[in-house]
Each structure stands twice: as C-alpha cells, then as structure tokens.
Structure 1
C-alpha cells in the first residue's frame, strides 16, 4: 500500500466533515431555507425609503429612566403617593348643595289673610270657606325666571329658595292685603337634575332633593353597577370638568362618596385593569401560558401576587436577582424621595423597580409593593442561559460533523 492510499481516506473524511459543517453554517443564513413567521429585521429595515428614530445603544439609551432597588425606604416613598385615580380635594370638600328653584320647576303659591274682606277673601264668602286663603293656579318657571302674582306683578323665582320667594311676595302684597302670609310649594321639580349612565342596571335622570344626595346613593337609584367594584370606574362630570375614581375605593373611603350638585352627570364604566409579565416567567412545560397580559381580578394586587399569577419564575431560565417592574412615576414623588430625576420634558418619569429575590427580605417587600394598571414585569435570564443557548447551536453542528466522520470510515 502506497502512502497516497493511506492519505486518501483521511482526506475524504476531512472533506465530508468540512462539507457538512459548511452546509449547516450556510443554511443558517438562508432566509428561504429556515422556517420563519415573517421577514427578518434586515428584510424590513433594508428596503425602507425613509428611516427615522433612534433609541440609542443599549449602554446609552436615548430615553433616560430611573432605577430603584426595592428596600424599606423605596416602599415607604411609593406608599406615600396618592393613587392616581381619586377625586380631588375640592370635590371631596364640597358641601351639600342648597337646591334652589330652576327653569322648568312647577310652583304652587297660597296667600293667607287674617280675615275676610281683604284683597283675596271677599267679605261675603260665608262660613263654607275652609279658611282665609286662596291658592293661585300652578305656574312653571320659564327662562325669564319670573312668576306672576295678581296685584303684585312679576316676582323673580329663579335661583331662590321657597322662603326667599315667600318674603318677596308678602312684601309686595302688604299694602293691599290684610296681613298677608304666603306659602310657596314645589309641585314638580324639573331642574337640578342628576344623570346616571353607563354600565348600570338602568340609566336614570332624577332631580336633586333639597336634603342632598351622595354619589353612591345616585348609583343605587340606578339599580347598581353591572360589574364588581374593583372593575368599575366612576366618573363625575361637573362644570365642564371630569374626575374619576374606582368604585371599590369609593366604597372603602367615605370622603370619596361625594355630595352631588345640580346638573352633575355620573358615568359608570368597566375598567379592567391589567399588568404585563415578560421574560422568564411562567411554567416552561405549560401549553396554556400564552397570554402574558393578566387581569387584576381584585381591588389591590401586590408585586408578589402578580409574579405568582404569572406563573412564578422559571427555574431553568430566571435570574431571581433581576426581577424588574417598569412604570411611569410622577416627578414630584421621585424628588420627594430624594431621587435626582433626568432632565426630560413632562411630569412622568420612566422608572424601573428592581427586586432581588435572592435576598429573603425582598420576599416581604414585594408583598407591600402595589401594582398599577399597565405595569410591566420583566424577569431577566440567568447568565447560564446564554451558555445553554450557545451550546444548543454548537452541539448539532458538532454532532453532524461527528456523524459525517463516522459515515466516511
């Protein structure tokens, strides 16, 4: 056997191994060979005629944000912040409105005199009369706001109480009638209306009672809400301004059960609050963990509850010291905590909270940290995960080369 005969099989094996490896590496870059759900990033960004927007490099992002690691001080600062959807102090302090006559109200006016023979009671009335009084025909207050009294002319009723109108009419009749006394009665109120609409049993419009009415009482008049209190947002429109609060907060805090004012409109709407959970959360083997958007399903939800509802951390992927929560916080709250906020326009600052679940004390802190609507939880992968991904790419290539070498022998 010659030396060329000995070298030739070995060269053939090397060529087969090299060919198999080259084929794998070549096909890995072929867009049409490997399966895909759509075009890759180069196929979308490359042909664009105009490209705009630059988030900046990872190490120096264009959007600045604040990073806070959860500890007792951070928790206390967040808890001191008033929830974003509560009625303002002005609405809470508003007293019960004094209901006055308005356009459309129907009034009954009765005039009493001390004896017969006066202006309204003739001397020959006789004993069959029930008393020394006369009741005028009912009158509806028009846009002019006036009512008409015989022998006294027009009197302004709009914006007055019954007592004020009574004094005005009696004063005008004093020179003609015998010690006149006047009683003004509201027959039908068509002003000072309160409207309740939205996700309630029945839309309702009613007139505000002189004794006043509170927010929950108006909702009760409409038959109550269709959804649970923590899913119901109550909006009060007054004077061109609208403010909202969650019904569960109104039920718990009596100060939020506002006194209503004439012409208030109450809008009841369902507001399902959600949070997002991305990254290494959920069970790896689960076939139902498809939706990463989770409803609160309760009035309050802590960060610990949210992590548990998302399926917990994945044992084979998650880095327990890298649990992050993303939200926008008010600049005033951060500055009150002594945090130097980045120079950017607006009152809301992008903020990231980090929970180190390798520290046992963080288990208590995540139970006190309250979630908000549209919060985003992200759990980073452990460093070993990147190594496993690399090995998953390299091992099939090495196995293909070994298989080719075996077939060539």
Structure 2
C-alpha cells in the first residue's frame, strides 16, 4: 500500500469515526452562529448544575398567540383603571379660597370703613367686600369674620357660599356670599416625562381625559410611534403606546385627582441572530410588530442555512401570557417567565399565526442552522484535510 493510500485512509477513518461516534463533541469544534434546533429543544439548563433557570419551550400556535394578545389587552388603560365619577371640584386641604360678601345698604358688618378691600360696588345700595384669600387648613377649615372657623373640605364652592350666608343672617344686612376657588391643589393631575412642559393640571368639571392633559402639557417631543404613556393611579400602573391610545378612544380615559401621566421616549428593538439574512438589533415602533414583520425586516431566513423548523423567540414573558402547566417548572426572574417560543416555518399555516404573534421589546429572534449545513462543514474540513495528502502524492509520483 502506498503512502498516499495509507494516509488518505487514515484521515478518512479519523473523520468518519469522529462524525459517527462523537458527533456532539465534534460539532462543538465547528464554527457556528448558535445552538442547533435539537440543542435548544433539549433545554440543557434544565439538567445543568450551573444554577441557570429552567426554560420552557412553547410551540407557537393560534392559542399561544391568543394568550399573549389577551395578556396585552389586560394592560390596556380601559381594563386596568375603573371609570371615575365626574369631578365636582370639592375643596380639600391646601386649596385657596376667595370669599366675596355683599350687604344691602346700610352695611352693618362689612361697610366701607372695613379693613377688607372693596372689590365691587354694583349700586348705591349694595357693596361687595373681598376677604383676603385663605388656604384651607389641614383640618379642612377657613376663618370668616363674625362667623368663625367653618368646615369646607368635601364641599363645592356653591355649598360653602350657602353655608356662610346662613351663618351671617341676623348679623349682616341681607348678606349674599360668593366663594371662588382661586387655586386648586387637591384636584390636580401630574404630567411629566417626554413632554414639552411638565406641569400640574387642575381637573375641571369638564372631566379632562388623558389626551387632553398631554395636549395641555404641550404635547410630546418625539414622534408618537416611538412614545409610550404610563398611567399611575391609586397604586396601579400600566403602560401603553401613545399611538394605540390615539387609535383607541376607550383607552383615552377620563382622569381622576392624583393621576400621574409619564411620557417615555421608548425606541423598542429586537435582536436577530443565526441563519437570518441580517444579524442585527432592529428597532421597531412602540405600537409593536408581528413575527412576520420581524422576519421581513431582517430579510427573512437564509435558504442555504436555515432550519425551517428551528425558528425561536427567546423572551422573558408576562406570567399572564402563559398557562399554569407551561410555567409549572419555570422560575420567575424579576416577575417574568423565561420562555422560548418555537416556530415551525415548514408548516404553511404558521404564517397566519405569525401575523398575530407579537414581538416584544428585547426579544431575541434566533434561526438555527439546518443539519445539512453542519454536514457540509464536516465535508469541507474532510476535503481540506485530504487534499494536501492527495496533492503530495501526485507530486511524489511525478505527475
């Protein structure tokens, strides 16, 4: 047997032995963009001792997409926040009131000699005296001359006017009282964040809505498709894309005293890795995109590399989006469930499901290589190892 023949057989036997008896070890030597489909599905973290969380593998089906969309709906403002009663401008501690008192002529208590400033004189027989503005005390009272301290919290200005008028009868000459709320500090909402003017906005009996408040704050600074709005009320918070709120009138909810509205410039993105035409971080609108749109934005999967059954979405999922059985063995991380959604693109029907499957911020879209790609790598290495031997044999023969 010649040197050429023996060397070729030795190299061939070595690679075939590695390929047939130790595939997993040998595959680890190949250059690769990530795990194969079987490696992802096997979920090695479930049995490893490296303290990594167990990851649940969930097939993308119409029910899966429906559960995710249902969980998103539960976060809509119209679902999270109950309807509020119309604002009646009830007075509370910290509000500032102005009291105007009229007396018929001749005035008994509030005449021209009074130290109070005279604001209005409608006729020779009626004078109006404006008392100094008063801040409603913590105990909910204000002080009116010749009346004393009166409780005003929880009442509107009309009720307070009648209360003071009743208390002055028999003391003043046909008194009439008008109370005006000059500074509202208890029925305000707060608008902050990515708006042109962060401000406190008093709520009027008109019952301002969410978009009204944003408009009063000068609107948002960035394009609406990149802005999300967070609402906080009575310990509850929820976030929605501004564009969705504009398109959904029911989520343009009436505001309640104490609401805090925060506008965020939030450029969402997902990362595409593996056998896609482009491996990159891809920004998308705050309103969200579907899996089909995400694949299109990275140029789809590569025909020569991709495993059509090995398309995966890695995500920290809202527990409300997965069933109890699916998260039975999973561990929560910061209140989220680590899951891997598996998509079988060889099934034509999955394209309809993928149109309803939402991509979320920080998702990782990974497409594994087909098994034939790994075989091709093996053959390339085999050829590259044998070719020098063949070439040397040819030269030694004098060809």
Could you say which TM-score interval applies, normalised by the shorter chain?
Answer: 0.7 to 0.9
Q: Distance in 2 between matches of 1:221 and 1:62?
A: 47
2:157 alignment counterpart? 162
Give CA-to-partner distance per residue, 1:263-302, whole Å, 9 cap, x none: 43322111111122221111xxxxxx452x2111362311
Find the residue that maps to 2:219 and give its secondary structure: coil
Deviation for aligned residue 1:54: 6.6
Q: 1:200 aligns with which of 184, 192, 195?
A: 195
2:288 is equivalent to residue 300 of structure 1: yes
2:395 is equivalent to residue 401 of structure 1: no
Q: 1:177 aligns with which of 172, 175, 185?
A: 172
Q: Distance in 1 between matches of 2:270 and 2:142?
A: 59
Q: 1:274 aligns with which of 269, 274, 285?
A: 269
What do you get for the CA RMSD once the two structures are aligned? Answer: 3.6
**Structure 1: gaps of 5 or more residues:** 1-6, 22-52, 283-288
Q: Which has the larger radius of gyration?
A: 1
Q: Distance in 1 between matches of 2:331 and 2:309?
A: 32
2:99 alignment counterpart? 109
2:142 alignment counterpart? 147
Find the residue that maps to 2:307 and give its secondary structure: strand
1:137 alignment counterpart? 131
2:252 is equivalent to residue 264 of structure 1: no
Find the residue that maps to 2:81 and give its secondary structure: helix
Q: Distance in 1 between matches of 2:363 and 2:211?
A: 29
Give CA-to-partner distance per residue, 1:86-125, whole Å, 9 cap, x none: 3374524223433233455443322234553654469xxx
Q: How does the TM-score come out when normalised to structure 2? A: 0.76
Q: Distance in 1 between matches of 2:68 and 2:298?
A: 23
CA shift in 2, pair 1:246/1:386, >3 Å: same
2:209 is equivalent to residue 211 of structure 1: no
CA shift in 2, pair 1:260/1:120, >3 Å: same
Q: Distance in 2 between matches of 1:307 and 1:361?
A: 16
Compare the two structures and name the one with the higher strand fraction. 2
Q: Distance in 2 between matches of 1:130 and 1:104?
A: 37
Q: Distance in 1 between matches of 2:339 and 2:10?
A: 51
Find the residue that maps to 1:82 and give its secondary structure: helix
2:77 is equivalent to residue 91 of structure 1: no
Q: 1:231 aligns with which of 217, 223, 226?
A: 226
Q: Distance in 2 between matches of 1:290 and 1:325?
A: 14
Alignment coverage as a number of residue pairs: 355
